Amino acid sequence: MSDQESPRVPPPSVSVAQLLEDPLLGVPLRVLAGRGGLQRLITHPRVQKSGLAMVGHLQGVSPTRLQVLGETELSYAESLSPEAQQRAARHLFSLGLSCVVITRGATPPPAFLEEADRTATPVVGAPARSSATITALHAVLDERLAPRARLHGVLVDVYGVGVLLSGKSGIGKSEAALELVMRGHRLVADDVVEADYRPPGAVYGQAAELLRHHLEVRGLGVLNVMDLYGVTAVRARIRIELVVALELWRAEAEYERLGLDVEACSILGVPVRRVTLPVRPGRNMSRIIEIAARSELLRQAGRNPVEDFVRRVEAASLGEAPSREELG
Amino acid sequence: MSRFCASFTIVNRRGLHARAATRLVQLASRFGCDISVRRQEQEANAKSVMGVLLLCCGPGTQVEICARGPEAEAAVTELGALIEEGFGELD
């Protein structure tokens, strides 16, 4: 699968200025100092609470993460003498931080603001308490900094399972998707799937904005599936849980006969189960794909029919009567 | 397997619009090799109309065509010629 990915380079980052203007940002942020550094980049989706940096313990502070100073940290800073405040500010702002967020609408000691201006480190204030501010920041950063890749394939929601149809151009991915839509399933993206990683260990797919709801079928051209089949025939986004690789039926190829060996591929580092389906005229791909999705649901529900079957065969060949339980 | 790449500039006034993209994809589909079109960091399968359209290449855009497999060099040369003659749309 990795050969189909074309990861976007450079790795995702967001500048402080972009973060402040982001429409997804659920808390208002106001710049208090260090305007000169608004173009600094944040590259990590999680904030840090870096209070210990004020006492000179700088280990573990990652400059490209947002640093949050809340009530606890500021009450410590306020308890210091003016000289000690200056020292604390020098420690904190010596690190080339992307941005410092002060929560609860508090005002940091003047030494902090001066040091922020001197080092061009943006300091922004949020009116909400730390917990709410951090939740809001993580929501935006998760979206903007998600690892992304563009995949060649067709993504369909089949019984709620996100099925990515892959295979060479002309193998019939879009035709299979159209058949699935006609059988009541929902198209997510045709031909180009924008995938993004969401922790922990999930990968989602959606259509590129420009192509949404469209499907290209050779001989018919570009179709608008929503116009043709209605709003229930499309879906904006789904978790990718199964890859169905379509390939031309090769007489010499070894196809899976039992379904025992689970093949997996990796999308953005997430292992996803893959089945390879040989295509040949007269083989109804949409129904076979439906069955693959049903099997995936069964597997997610903790059932493995193939293992049950194998156990049954083994018991029979050893001359043991399988128990009721084993027979399922 | 042989791999061959070359860069070309979109010269026709309307850029890589829907009809032009279709001509590019149709030509690419005649070859058995894998072909990609790249515009800056965005890459598309040259045999995919949707993928090529998504690159939104206006006039003056530089694209890199890469082919891997049988007839890779011929594929890149012919596709390049199609782009440079403006998809037959030049006045």
Q: Is the pLDDT of residue A2 over 60?
A: no
**Are B29 and A208 within 8 A, CB to CB?**
no
For residue A214, indicate whether it is catalytic: no
**Are A152 and B53 within 8 A, CB to CB?**
no
User: A295 with A154, same domain?
Assistant: yes
**Are A191 and B50 within 8 A, CB to CB?**
yes
Q: Which residues contact A219 (CB under 8 A, 6 or more apart)?
A: none
User: A215 with A293, same domain?
Assistant: yes
User: How is chain B split into domains, by residue range?
Assistant: 3-88
Q: Is B45 within 8 Å of chain A by CB?
A: yes
In chain A, % of residues over pLDDT 70 = 93
In chain A, % of residues over pLDDT 90 = 70
Q: Which residues contact A262 (CB under 8 A, 6 or more apart)?
A: A273
User: A294 with A153, same domain?
Assistant: yes
Which of B29, B42, B53 lies at the smallest CB-CB distance from A170? B29
Number of structural domains in chain A: 2
Instruction: Look up the pTM and report it.
Output: 0.80
| Mean pLDDT over the full length of chain A | 89
Question: What CATH number is given to the structural domain containing A177?
Answer: 3.40.50.300
Domain final residue, candidates A115, A144, A173: A144
For residue A173, indicate whether it is catalytic: yes
Cα atoms found within 13 Å of the Cα of residue A128, Cβ hemisphere only: 13
The per-residue pLDDT for A304 is 84
The per-residue pLDDT for A157 is 98
Model confidence at A324, pLDDT cuts 50, 70, 90, reads low
User: A135 with A154, same domain?
Assistant: no
pLDDT in tens, A3-40: 445 444 456 899 999 999 999 998 999 999 999 999 99
Asked, for residue A307, whether it belongs to a domain, the answer is: no
Asked, for residue A128, whether it belongs to a domain, the answer is: yes
Residues in B closer than 8 angstroms to A8, CB to CB, are: 41-42
* The CATH fold of domain B3-88: Histidine-containing Protein; Chain: A; (3.30.1340)
In angstroms, what separates the C-alpha of B35 from chain A's closest C-alpha? Answer: 11
Asked, for residue A316, whether it belongs to a domain, the answer is: no
Asked, for residue A231, whether it belongs to a domain, the answer is: yes
**Are A216 and B49 within 8 A, CB to CB?**
yes
Q: How far apart are CA A85 and CA B38, in angstroms?
A: 53
Contact B56, B64 (CB under 8 A): no
pLDDT in tens, A143-160: 899 999 999 999 999 999
pLDDT in tens, B25-81: 999 999 999 999 999 888 899 998 899 999 988 899 999 999 999 999 999 999 999
Asked, for residue A327, whether it belongs to a domain, the answer is: no
User: A182 with A138, same domain?
Assistant: no
Q: Is B69 within 8 Å of chain A by CB?
A: no
Residues in B closer than 8 angstroms to A169, CB to CB, are: 29, 45, 47-48
Asked, for residue A171, whether it belongs to a domain, the answer is: yes
Find the domain containing A31 and state its range: 7-144
User: A22 with A125, same domain?
Assistant: yes
Check the CA dihedral A135-A140-A143-A144 and report its sign: negative
Residues in B closer than 8 angstroms to A6, CB to CB, are: 42-43
* A46: DSSP letter: S
Domain final residue, candidates A118, A144, A170: A144
Which of A6, A170, A190 lies at the smallest CB-CB distance from B50? A190
Q: Which residues contact A133 (CB under 8 A, 6 or more apart)?
A: A27, A68, A101, A103, A126
The per-residue pLDDT for A57 is 87
pLDDT in tens, A165-207: 999 888 999 999 999 999 999 999 999 999 999 888 999 999 9
Q: How far apart are CA A108 and CA A125, in angstroms?
A: 9
